[in-house]
Structure 1
């Protein structure tokens, strides 16, 4: 997988134990984070759900909301990680929050607002979207290529995004990278060697054991704290954030070979992914737009209606975003397969038809329109040699001798026709909206860009074409760009008629989405060397466009 310096490993061990002496992300102007290492809040019109961690363990922590105390719940076995769920709040109001232990304040107070209620009609709403923020600092891949951006670069990108004061943020997948079989059993011998070199230092999972109260819990903290809490710190404390998982969040890459098919995730992958979510970032709150019966919702340790894989952002009568994980419940059933389960598809289509809002956006973890020849895509396109070869093409990253062109003339091993059939039903529902534009924002492809799907297979979407937007990766570096990892840059699938100003950029970046009654305005930001890191602090959009109301 990746190589780490001893300094990186030692720091990760300290962070995972909750003993870090300092985290640069904790500093935020004059706001004093005290003993708090990270805060990531979610919000709805009536609820807050906040995840936090501390520099030392506690037995009792409360969240003070305008003088009302909400008792916290420890989410680990030691008392470093805590969860706070406040319900019954007034919609559309800013509250002052503070974490306390008895009478002692653990940090300075900070503001956080609930969203407007369903009957409200706000004039505007600003949403931030980004992807692929995870990865251990200092990791190296083949040819000593940097795998992930230094934390300073990632923090600069997030601080620049937050300087525009978004009212919510969506982190679209790949919050961590710590693949198991995909890297430990990779066909490339050097990948296997690098992986074991790192994992020998950190330790290995016992897949038969419980997560909490075992060495598995310790390992998850060691590997995830440097990727999540060390990155975000407390900078997102006043920005409701929504984290949707993708392949690496289930501790695998989306590979399919005769000896190993990564998805759907097995029982251990799901338990490990749930543990990371429970410790570090909030689940989806019930808000009336997402029903409590969706798969992954209403678990006993989360509460009624709280979702792990599917959720929504509802902002009065102005705006709604439907957010969905395309990995956890994936099926391999040929023509009836799906990247999301039938109950979720029904919800997406019904809500797209009937949501009482002016604008609605889909936010899947896996994009529509483009392909990089990955296995777990909506499309059958695969990277194959330009001449010669026959039979199914096996898909995995960093294969020896990889290269060629994207094609459908060769079959993609274990790709399911039902995935594209489900794609067709979803884009058809989006295009069929008569009073709203069809808009989709996604991540995964390690690129930033936008285009318009005008035809998909035999579907003519010209009456209301689907605007597909790649949010932009925060943490991707050399080894993660599709041209390095896949041997191709992202391109439109051959099944799609697609218009775009130019191909997506293999650059770090993010997207801001401004919603008003009349339109959705999209601003996309991108950075990469040779521009200096300091340029991020004044980064301006490379593209701005408006999507008028249908």
Structure 2
């Protein structure tokens, strides 16, 4: 009798332990905040595989227990219960997975960043615009630029974010810059920054680093390892690109990945449990600045921009084009609501509601404008870009800057054109456009001017390749042909507008008419690298003088973010209505391009690296895997 009581007590104790121990373990992990179970598991096997095995094991063990005696049945039930409680514990642990975030200060051994978190400059021949953020709240900081003092302008409501606008500068001149507080105390070490050459001058060369998709928040990396490359690795890739000593950096969209509310991507990004645990949730009924939404946005965007760039680009003029994810949304046109089984298997709400994400709704627009206001320099004015273009000279920005349309003018060597194709999109069928007609006319006028060696379209959207996404110039959709994914126009693309392709051809035609200037399209959006010559676009015959185009690749793409990955599930190829000679077919690795521009040619070197496939140690010595050479028309 005593033995039976003892056995019963032991069983009760074991049962309590099974129920309580996992939650005690979770509590200790949450309180410590430094144990990354996933990092440990990845050395053994993928966490997703482990979870799937355990899920099936719990079910199988429970079912098979009925084939055994009563004694063994309880043992198997106990084993099944342990597995289930372990999975529940892991599910609760997910929001507490540690993050390893720090700003990028690659030369901290000899340059003191002080209280500065990030510096991103925009430059023209006579003006410098700095966007900055700090670890401390400031009052009336100033920029000392070679002895002249420029007052700061606060861009948040708490004194951590400021811009500095220095005007009436001399072309092709190196200035010494120093950030100071209101008492004149230095906030960081001084550094040099040069203005561009005069637009009518004849510079010999220009080196540009370009990429897309640099955004990504470690809190949006799923527990099973999908999402953008971790911040520390993206910083290494960026720093490798900067070791080539570029004169200019161009980010052609998707500096932010933090989608909310709409589509599948929001469930993996800003609406994920881990992201909410780190940043909080937006209140869509309130403005961003001056409410709790301000801190949510800073936590959501700060690690993606301020931490990625830090002070690494303080002496490099930068250009950043907005694309769909800056508006905290993917370009989705979902006709019917559905249940996504893949999300369910990954413990994510599988219900995906029908939606059309663009044009941006008021919150999306405010989020994009506020993020740009805090972190990214707008486009400085250019004498050949109308101040009447939409998004120009807003009351809450520096004078005459543009939020959406930009110019890189480097003497008479290069004129670069940049444009946001999301903010002003319209859905009016054959009259549909990605950019307003007056902005289109500006692009055409610049082609007609024919007064630089090269005219480069730095586009956040692909020219010459498609992966069947909605907001593309092209009507192609993904189909299966003989069991393989392919592009087709035999099926209509939901909410695609025929006017978009017409606008594409009008702009392309203007570039084909240039006699002395060599055109080039340097494209973002699609997370792959390609290069080739556009020979034909519908009825537009370009065979006598094909137009070169390339995709830069994404600095931070991983896994499902490639065109052939989970969302698109098809490699980038020329669309049905185009004829493209491909010099480089789709190369799916994270990376960037370095463009060496002279009067004779543009030599573009492609760099690629793949997370989980290539050793991280090789980043510092990464070499080009492909070179694309475009001779100038005059050859001088």
TM-score normalised by structure 1 residue count: 0.91
User: Do residues 384 (structure 1) and 465 (structure 2) align?
Assistant: no
Q: How do residues 422-441 of structure 1 correspond to structure 2 at under 5 angstroms?
A: 422-441=503-522
| 5 and 432 in structure 1: CA distance in 2 versus 1, 3 angstrom threshold | farther
Residues 183 and 192 of structure 1 are in contact (CA less than 8 Å); yes or no, is this contact kept in structure 2?
A: no
User: Do residues 274 (structure 1) and 357 (structure 2) align?
Assistant: no
Cα offset, 1:362, TM superposition: 0.6
Where 2:156 maps in the other structure, the secondary structure is coil
Q: How do residues 17-416 of structure 1 correspond to structure 2 at under 5 angstroms?
A: 23-25=103-105, 27-101=107-181, 102-137=183-218, 139-141=220-222, 144-183=224-263, 195-196=272-273, 198-199=275-276, 202-258=279-335, 259-386=354-481, 404-416=485-497
Cα offset, 1:546, TM superposition: 1.8
How many Å separate the matches in 1 of 2:297 and 2:571?
A: 32
Q: Quick one: which of 531, 554, 568 aligns to 1:486? A: 568
Residues 143 and 150 of structure 2 are in contact (CA less than 8 Å); yes or no, is this contact kept in structure 1?
A: yes
Q: Which has the higher contact order (CA 8 A, sep 6+)?
A: 1
- Aligned residue number for residue 29 of structure 2: none
Deviates more, 1:342-351 or 1:26-35: 26-35
Where 1:491 maps in the other structure, the secondary structure is coil
| 151 and 10 in structure 1: CA distance in 2 versus 1, 3 angstrom threshold | closer
Residues 244 and 365 of structure 1 are in contact (CA less than 8 Å); yes or no, is this contact kept in structure 2?
A: yes
How many Å separate the matches in 2 of 1:104 and 1:448?
A: 46
Residues 264 and 328 of structure 1 are in contact (CA less than 8 Å); yes or no, is this contact kept in structure 2?
A: yes
Cα offset, 1:405, TM superposition: 2.6
Please list the CA deviations of residues 173-195 of structure 1 after superposition, one character each: whole Å capped at 9, or x if unmatched: 11111112224797xxx859973
Q: How do residues 448-467 of structure 1 correspond to structure 2 at under 5 angstroms?
A: 448-467=529-548
| 193 and 127 in structure 1: CA distance in 2 versus 1, 3 angstrom threshold | closer
- Aligned residue number for residue 468 of structure 1: 549
Larger % of helix: which?
2
Cα offset, 1:78, TM superposition: 0.5
- Aligned residue number for residue 533 of structure 1: 616
Cα offset, 1:482, TM superposition: 1.5
Residues 600 and 631 of structure 2 are in contact (CA less than 8 Å); yes or no, is this contact kept in structure 1?
A: yes
How many Å separate the matches in 2 of 1:510 and 1:7?
A: 33
How many Å separate the matches in 1 of 2:109 and 2:433?
A: 46
Structure 1 unpaired stretches of 5+: 13-21, 389-402
TM-score normalised by structure 2 residue count: 0.79
Deviates more, 1:462-471 or 1:196-205: 196-205
Deviates more, 1:443-452 or 1:194-203: 194-203
Cα offset, 1:9, TM superposition: 7.0
Residues 25 and 231 of structure 1 are in contact (CA less than 8 Å); yes or no, is this contact kept in structure 2?
A: no
Please list the CA deviations of residues 29-88 of structure 1 after superposition, one character each: whole Å capped at 9, or x if unmatched: 411101101101110001111111111101121111001110001110000011111110
How many Å separate the matches in 2 of 1:183 and 1:530?
A: 29
Cα offset, 1:27, TM superposition: 4.5
How many Å separate the matches in 1 of 2:97 and 2:420?
A: 31
Where 2:521 maps in the other structure, the secondary structure is strand
User: Do residues 523 (structure 1) and 618 (structure 2) align?
Assistant: no
Cα offset, 1:28, TM superposition: 4.0
How many Å separate the matches in 2 of 1:24 and 1:361?
A: 30
How many Å separate the matches in 2 of 1:43 and 1:24?
A: 21
- Aligned residue number for residue 499 of structure 2: 418
Name which one, 1 or 2, has greater alpha-carbon Rg. Answer: 2
Please list the CA deviations of residues 413-460 of structure 1 after superposition, one character each: whole Å capped at 9, or x if unmatched: 000000000000011111111112221001111111211111111111
Please list the CA deviations of residues 459-489 of structure 1 after superposition, one character each: whole Å capped at 9, or x if unmatched: 1112221111111111111121121221111
How many Å separate the matches in 2 of 1:305 and 1:184?
A: 38
Residues 36 and 107 of structure 1 are in contact (CA less than 8 Å); yes or no, is this contact kept in structure 2?
A: yes
Residues 318 and 358 of structure 1 are in contact (CA less than 8 Å); yes or no, is this contact kept in structure 2?
A: yes
Residues 216 and 231 of structure 2 are in contact (CA less than 8 Å); yes or no, is this contact kept in structure 1?
A: no
Where 1:492 maps in the other structure, the secondary structure is coil
| 404 and 10 in structure 1: CA distance in 2 versus 1, 3 angstrom threshold | closer
Cα offset, 1:26, TM superposition: 6.0
| Superposition RMSD in Å | 2.2
Residues 95 and 273 of structure 2 are in contact (CA less than 8 Å); yes or no, is this contact kept in structure 1?
A: no
Residues 260 and 269 of structure 2 are in contact (CA less than 8 Å); yes or no, is this contact kept in structure 1?
A: no
